[in-house]
Amino acid sequence: MNHTLSPELAQRPKTSHHASELPWWKRTTVYQVYPRSFADTNGDGIGDLRGVIGKLDYLRDLGVETIWLSPFFDSPQADFGYDIRDHFGISSEYGSLDDCHALIEEVHQRGMRVVFDMVLNHTSNEHPWFVESKSSKHNPRRDYYLWRDGRAPGGREPPNNWRSMLGRRGWHYDRTTDQWYWASFLPFQPDLNYRNPEVKEAMLDVVRHWLSMGVDGLRLDIFNALFKDAAFTNNPFSFRPVPSEDNPDGFFQQTRHTIDHPDTFAFARELRAVVDAVPGPPRFLVGEVFGAPHTLRRYCGEDADGLHLVFLFKSMRAPFSGPGVRAMIAEFEREFPEPFFPTYVFGNHDRPRSILRLGNHAGKAKLLATLQLTARGVPFIYYGEEIGMHHHDIPAVHGLDPIATHFRFVPDWVARRLRRSGILLNRDESRLPMQWHHGPHGGFTHHASSPWLASHPNSAEVNVAAQENDPHSILSCYRQLLAMRNRSLALQAGSLELLSPAGVPLAVVAYRRRHGEGERAEVAEVFLNFSSREARVELPALPDRTVFSTLRGAMDPSESRISLRAFEGVVVCQG
Ligand code: GLC
Ligand code: CA
């Protein structure tokens, strides 16, 4: 066997009697496309929907099933699409409605699925609703957003002490009506008022609209901020300066009245019922929520009748060590037992690229990919991760990202320190154009164009073309792992049991995946060496065995004892 991709390896997850009982969204693999940075077809330097369509064969051959696209709806692009002006229209720089329908169709033709990004929490300040809302206190849309009087003296102080998710004041004064509006994120993203039934219905209609166009699922932007305390009670004091993956409190205040409101948990179930009622195949919802897995599970509903999945961003920060990873897996398993399901996510358009904290070490990136693609959970791969695209340091003063502008007073050395703890002030750094080949701009756009963000200086070396036929590349490793996963029900949806084989150092994480019972059970075992020291392990004797190593590729299936090399991952599975 060699490493290059054969058509069988790229096959979709297999369907069998067992498999058909499992909802597809538990067995799927998700790849996040940031459309602005993926592929530009008309030479304006901005990635577009036609560009995504042109790369669907690449994604199919990579072996991923579901594509999640960051928003491309009509927007002033102040937050590159996370500020929507018209939920039913497509931003002209990304294409047309026809392109959007073509995309959905082309994805489905390849047996793949597509997930759109729903920004329910807020709109752009240019959305006609907000323009009307702001025009007068008596406008019928006034109550679509959260407006309050300022505190005395003379209303000059914001209505209460709430801070935005970014840590600065979340209330913004508007002169027209001498009141303040609330924005959980940036000032040009006013929060909708979900306590107004008209707003809720209107937004549920947006959801119904896109799902009935054939979209297979939705990623829900800052879902945890949807409902706020109805009485606008001040948030209590906290000693925490910055939020962490486990706790959204920070900036010296608790988020009790602004984040994870009980009404938001209840709304998750309401939304699920709406989604389930849309005719057609089952769809899924994945929530962007922040905090400890124990809290986040609540978004999935006590009876698993809420969001299907939530991002477990803790996976981005788990220490790169045997004990650290083992503890993370144990926690996810404890908090998300069947019928719940964890997620593994190492990067996205808001966070430093995952390879940065690995010191750009290709072997470590392959090890992490092995964890992501073989543990029990839905993997979310951020574009470029499959080729080990590097992070790029861009000083905030050059940042196009509105967060960089919002925090332009923060010195670069502080920004770099925050980045080390996973907080990115200039998100341009992880949104660079996808690197396709060694040509100008990494093949992202036409020769003569200039991309909206300059390509990474290493695009001539780190790119898809350079890795495609290299059996030892990161890309080949992803393809092999995905192909294995797509053949193995145990890897897709089996139970996970952490193993502690005698004599194996703690730096090695080992687990067994099992699908089905007794004789007919299908099993896979995974060994991940998180240290630079070799470690001997005993491979399980499984019938019809395939053995794959991140450093050696396909191995002799009769090997029984091997010495794991530094940062090597080995997967043994049936079939
Ligand atoms: C989410 C998005 C981020 C966006 C913000 C406001 O965190 O991932 O990119 O800026 O919400 O919509
Ligand atoms: Ca374009």
Choice between 71 and 557, residue whose per-residue pLDDT is larger = 71
pLDDT reported for residue 15: 45
Q: What is the pLDDT of residue 289?
A: 98
Is it true that the peptide bond before 557 is cis, omega within 30 degrees of 0?
no
Contact by Cβ (8 Å): 246, 292 = yes
Q: How far is the CA of 216 from the centre of ligand 2 (A)?
A: 25
pLDDT at 443: 98
One-letter identity of residue 85: R
pLDDT of amino acid 18: 52
Q: Tokens for 412?
A: 């670069």
Q: Which of 33, 69, 77, 79 to mutate to test the pocket of ligand 1 (most atoms within 8 A of CB)?
A: 79
Closest C-alpha to 290, from 234, 218, 242, 323: 242
Q: Which residues of the chain does CATH 3.20.20.80 include?
A: 27-123+196-467
Residue 115: both structure tokens together: 């997930």
Per-residue pLDDT reduced to its tens digit, 388-406: 999 999 988 899 999 999 9
pLDDT at 195 over 60: yes
**337, 563, 480, 514: which is closest to 10 by C-alpha?**
480
- Are 13 and 30 in contact, with CB atoms under 8 Å apart? no
Contact 508, 530 (CB under 8 A): yes
Is the per-residue pLDDT at 523 higher than 70?
A: yes
pLDDT band at 472 (very low <50, low <70, confident <90, very high): very high
Q: What is the pLDDT of residue 281?
A: 92
- For residue 5, the model assigns a pLDDT of 36
Q: Name the segment(s) of the chain with CATH classification 3.90.400.10.
A: 128-182
* Lookup result for tokens 């967060």: 403
Distance between CA atoms of 528 and 509, rounded to whole angstroms?
A: 5
Cross-strand partners of 174: 179
CA distance 59 to 106: 12
Closest ligand relative to 287 C-alpha? 1
Active site residues: 221, 288
What CA–CA distance (Å, rounded) separates 81 from 524?
A: 41
Mean pLDDT of 505-519: 95
Q: Which residues have any ligand 1 atom within 6 Å of their CB?
A: 79, 82, 119, 185, 221-222, 288, 349-350
Q: Is 237 left (phi over 0), alpha (psi -120 to 50) or beta?
A: beta
Q: Which amino acid is at 421?
A: S
Contacts of 555 (CB under 8 A, 6+ apart): 547, 548, 549, 562, 570
Q: Please tell me the pTM assigned to this model.
A: 0.96
Give the Cα separation of 349 and 34 in Å (integer). 7
Q: CA–CA distance from 186 to each of 310, 389, 562 (Å)? A: 23, 28, 53
* Other beta carbons less than 10 A from residue 437's beta carbon: 16
Nearest CA to ligand 1 atom 9: 350
| Most distant CA pair in the chain, distance | 81
* pLDDT at 152 (0 to 100): 80
pLDDT, tens digit, for every residue of 96-134? Answer: 999 999 999 999 999 999 999 999 999 999 999 999 999
Rounded alpha-carbon distances, angstroms, from residue 481 to 10, 25, 88, 252, 530: 10, 19, 38, 44, 18
Q: Is 272 exposed, middle or buried (0-12, 13-18, 19+ CB in 10 A)?
A: buried
Give distance in angstroms: CA of 8 to centre of ligand 2.
34
Tokens of 102: 């073509």
Q: Which ligand is nearest to the CA of 92?
A: 2
- 16, pLDDT greater than 80: no
319, pLDDT greater than 70: yes
> What's the confidence (pLDDT) of residue 2?
36
**C-alpha radius of gyration, the chain, whole number:** 24
Around ion ligand 2, which residues have CB less than 5 A away?
40, 42, 44, 46, 48
Whether the predicted pLDDT of 54 surpasses 50: yes
Greater confidence, 11 or 55? 55
List the one residue out of 349, 313, 520, 550 whose CA is nearest residue 430: 349
Structure tokens at 428: 């341009």
DSSP secondary structure letters along 404-415 = HHHTTTS-HHHH
Would you state the CATH architecture of domain 128-182?
Answer: Alpha-Beta Complex (3.90)
**464 C-alpha to center of ligand 2: Å?**
20
Tell me which residue has its CA closest to atom 2 in ligand 1: 221
For residue 285, the surrounding DSSP H or E stretch is strand 284-287
Which two three-digit tokens encode residue 68? 């999640």
- Write out the CATH class of domain 27-123+196-467: alpha beta
Residue 111 half-sphere exposure toward CB, CA atoms < 13 A: 11
Which of the four pLDDT bands, split at 50, 70 and 90, describes residue 19? low
Mutation probe of ligand 1 site: the residue of 69, 221, 313 with most atoms within 8 A of C-beta: 221
Residue type, 3: H
Ligand number with the minimum distance to the CA of 54: 2
SS3 percent helix, strand, coil of the chain, rounded to 5, is 30, 20, 50
Reduced to 3 states (helix: H, G, I; strand: E, B; else coil), residue 193 is coil
Q: Which two tokens stand for residue 430?
A: 């992880």
279-302 residue pLDDT tens: 999 999 999 999 999 999 999 999
